[in-house]
Structure formats: structure tokens, C-alpha cells
């Protein structure tokens, strides 16, 4: 018996149903310009619990609240001029700001922290959804915990099937990796999760910005970053950029034994091995971000996914590399 497919184009009819679901504390997956989100009513403990349960997400990994462009931040958080300048420069867009919370949404959203992360996505479908439902939507990425984040509606469907009532389809996500998470509660903004908005870009607007190093004291402000993430459901093997011959030997062994393999690498390697199954991540950080999760999902169609490391010569690649290394953990 075929399962009911719960993927819907975004129109007035699907939005009306989406509003019914989220106001009744059920979950709706929706597209953003970064990855798909699994949305729930941020005001309801019951709805937030349902998101953690559906994902199998650790209960100390807080969620981001998604708001429409015409929202009032003061309703939810204590604002400050630096945050205002950053919003002016980057929002709507792939930047999440962490503020001191006014504790208006369910305390389960921030896992008991005194802060709240807010994001205003640029994706037109996300904005239509957020405006239409008219309540703050808490949303983690719409994948089962630890799995690769989804960048198409079908990726969401493969993780959740029809166990959630609705997946809104807004096409393939352009950005391709999760938002930059930036803590603006202190004098100097701190990047807790790397993404498409880089420290350099933030510095140009407010004069300063630092990265919280992985495992550092600062990184503890973002509990989610300590967990393993982004794992494809297939065997993986990682090689240094200088070990391409080793990767090719493994690929050949795999094919000779009757199995299938895919090599994921940047264009500088891909151009020389086009006779193999290759997923070319591209050259620039932005293109690599757009392709990374899509490629990891493609890799699941093979018995073995071989990764080849790449040079980090632009800042966006820091965020791509972080996820790439976790995926090949
Ligand atoms: P995901 O929902 O999978 O995109 O993950 C959300 C990310 O935002 C995680 O890395 C969380 O640690 C981070 N985050 C959410 N809320 C907060 C907060 N209040 N303070 C710091 N980091 C947060
Ligand atoms: Mg996630």
C-alpha cells in the first residue's frame, strides 16, 4: 500500500491548512533559503515537545524562532542598537541573532537558557507561511537528529514520511547550509555557528566580530554545536587533498567488488577524475554551500561515499568545511 504523500505547493489552500496544523500544535515543514525547517507553535510547550520527539533531538539543543519581516522584536527579546544595525544589513537572510529573552515563548524553545535565537528568513515561501500563520514558529532543521539537513521537500519526506501532517514545497534551498548563529548579547558579537554570513561581513557593519572556536568556552553558549551532525546513511571515508590516489584506489576496489561509490570533492579535483562517479562541490564557498547537503543526500544512493578535503580559501568555506568534516566524522 502506498503511503499518503504530504508534500504541498505553497498556495492559499495549503497555507490555510498549515495554519490549522500549527495552531493545533502539530508540525509543518517549510522551506527557507538555508535548509528546510520543521515548524511548530513556539508559544506551546506541547508543540515544542513534539518537535524534539519527532527529531529525536537532545533536549539541551535549543531551537530558533522564525518570524516574518514585519515582526516586532521587542515582543520577544531585549533589543540593542548593534542588533538593529545587523538586522538592517542582513535581514531577511541567513543570519540568526541570539538576544536576551523576555521569556514570552515556551521555555522549552531555549532549553532553559536566558537567551532566544531569532531568524527572519528571506525565502518568499517561508515569509508567506510565517505571515499567514501569525504566530512565532520555532523550527530546527527538518531532519531526524544527526542526519543530513534537508534541502528539498523530498529529503524531508524521506526522514519523516507522513508522520507529520504537512511538508510545504518551496523548491531546492539556495543557501544550502544552516544560518550563521550570532550572539549579540555582549559588546562584541560572537559567531556560534558558521554560515553564509561571515565574521568579515559582520565586522564591516559593526566593527568587530569573533568566532567561538569549536569546544571553546564561548561555544558553550550554543549547546547544539557539540553534537555530531549531518551524517549520511551510507559508509563514508575521508581523504586529504594530497591523498587523491588513495581515494581512487579505494574507489576502484569498491567497484571491482561489485559495489557502487561516489567521490565528493571540489572542482580542482573533480576536473581530473571525470571518468568516475563524482559529485563536484564547485569552487567558491557559496556554490559549495549550495551543493554540500544535496550531494550528501545523493551519496546515500551509493554503497560508499568518499570525501576529499578542500582548501579553505574563502570565509564561507569555513562553514562548509565544518559540516563536511562532521559528515565524514
Ligand atoms: P538547528 O535548529 O538544527 O538549525 O540548530 C539550531 C542551532 O541554533 C543550534 O546550533 C543551537 O545551539 C543554536 N541556538 C538556538 N537557540 C540558541 C540560543 N538561545 N543560544 C545559543 N544558540 C542557540
Ligand atoms: Mg539541525
* Ligand 1 nearest atom to the CA of residue 113, by list position: 19
Is 225 close to ligand 1, i.e. is its CB under 6 Å away?
A: yes
DSSP string, 264-316: EE-HHHHTT-TTS-EEE--SSHHHHHHHHHHHHHHHTTSSEEEEE-----STH
Protein residue with least CA distance to atom 13, ligand 1: 222
Is 195 close to ligand 1, i.e. is its CB under 6 Å away?
A: no
Closest CA to 185 of 108, 63, 105, 82: 82
**How far does the centroid of ligand 1 lie from the alpha carbon of residue 225, in Å?**
8
* Ligand 1 nearest atom to the CA of residue 141, by list position: 3
Place of cell 557593519: 205
**How far does the centroid of ligand 2 lie from the alpha carbon of residue 305, in Å?**
21
* Ligand 1 nearest atom to the CA of residue 109, by list position: 16
Using a cut of 0.75, tell me whether the model's pTM lies above it. yes
Q: What is the pLDDT of residues 259-303, one digit of tens each?
A: 999 999 999 999 999 999 999 999 999 999 999 999 999 999 999
Q: Considering just the CA atoms, what is the radius of gyration of the chain in Å?
A: 20
**How far does the centroid of ligand 1 lie from the alpha carbon of residue 215, in Å?**
15
Protein residue with least CA distance to atom 23, ligand 1: 222
pLDDT tens per residue across all 329 residues of the chain: 456 789 999 999 999 999 999 999 999 999 999 999 999 999 999 999 999 999 999 989 999 999 999 999 999 999 999 999 999 999 999 999 999 999 999 999 999 999 999 999 999 999 999 999 999 999 999 999 999 999 999 999 999 999 999 999 999 999 999 999 999 999 999 999 999 999 999 999 999 999 998 777 778 777 777 666 789 999 999 999 999 999 999 999 999 999 999 999 999 999 999 999 999 999 999 999 999 999 999 999 999 999 999 999 999 999 999 999 999 98
Residues 25, 19 contacting (CB under 8 angstroms) = no
User: CA 96 to CA 33: how far, in whole Å?
Assistant: 13
Residue-range domains of the chain with CATH: 7-221 (3.90.870.10), 235-327 (3.40.50.11030)
CA dihedral 244, 250, 252, 253 (to 10 degrees): 160
Amino acid at each position: 500500500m502506498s503511503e499518503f504523500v504530504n508534500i504541498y505547493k505553497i498556495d492559499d489552500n495549503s497555507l490555510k491548512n498549515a495554519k490549522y496544523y500549527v495552531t493545533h500544535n502539530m508540525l509543518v515543514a517549510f522551506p527557507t533559503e538555508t535548509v528546510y525547517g520543521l515548524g511548530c507553535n513556539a508559544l506551546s510547550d506541547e508543540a515544542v515537545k513534539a518537535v524534539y520527539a519527532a527529531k529525536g533531538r537532545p533536549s539541551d539543543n535549543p531551537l530558533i524562532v522564525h518570524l516574518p519581516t514585519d515582526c516586532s522584536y521587542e515582543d520577544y527579546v531585549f533589543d540593542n542598537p548593534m542588533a538593529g544595525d545587523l538586522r538592517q544589513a542582513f535581514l531577511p537572510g541567513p543570519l540568526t541573532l541570539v538576544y536576551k529573552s523576555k521569556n514570552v515563548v515556551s521555555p522549552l524553545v531555549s532549553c532553559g537558557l536566558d537567551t532566544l535565537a531569532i531568524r527572519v528568513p528571506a525565502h518568499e515561501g517561508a515569509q508567506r507561511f510565517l505571515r499567514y500563520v501569525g504566530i512565532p514558529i520555532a523550527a530546527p532543521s527538518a531532519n531526524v537528529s544527526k542526519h543530513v539537513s534537508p534541502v528539498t521537500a523530498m529529503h524531508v519526506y524521506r526522514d519523516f514520511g507522513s508522520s507529520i501532517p504537512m511538508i510545504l514545497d518551496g523548491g531546492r534551498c539556495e543557501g544550502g547550509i544552516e544560518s550563521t548563529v550570532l550572539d549579540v548579547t555582549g559588546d562584541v558579537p560572537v559567531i556560534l555557528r558558521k554560515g553564509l554570513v561571515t565574521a568579515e561581513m559582520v565586522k564591516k557593519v559593526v566593527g568587530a566580530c569573533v568566532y567561538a572556536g569549536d569546544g571553546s568556552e564561548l561555544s558553550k553558549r550554543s549547546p547544539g554545536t557539540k553534537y555530531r551532525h549531518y551524517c549520511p546513511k551510507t559508509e563514508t571515508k575521508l581523504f586529504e587533498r594530497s591523498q587523491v590516489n588513495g581515494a581512487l584506489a579505494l574507489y576502484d576496489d569498491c567497484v571491482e567488488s561489485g559495489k557502487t561509490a561516489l567521490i565528493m570533492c571540489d572542482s580542482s579535483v573533480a576536473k581530473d577524475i571525470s571518468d568516475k562517479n563524482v559529485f563536484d562541490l564547485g569552487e567558491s564557498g557559496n556554490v559549495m554551500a549550495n551543493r554540500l547537503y544535496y550531494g550528501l543526500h545523493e551519496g546515500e544512493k551509493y554503497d560508499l561515499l568518499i570525501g576529499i578535503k578542500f582548501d579553505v580559501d574563502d570565509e564561507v568555506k569555513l562553514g562548509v568545511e565544518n559540516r563536511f568534516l562532521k559528515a565524514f566524522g
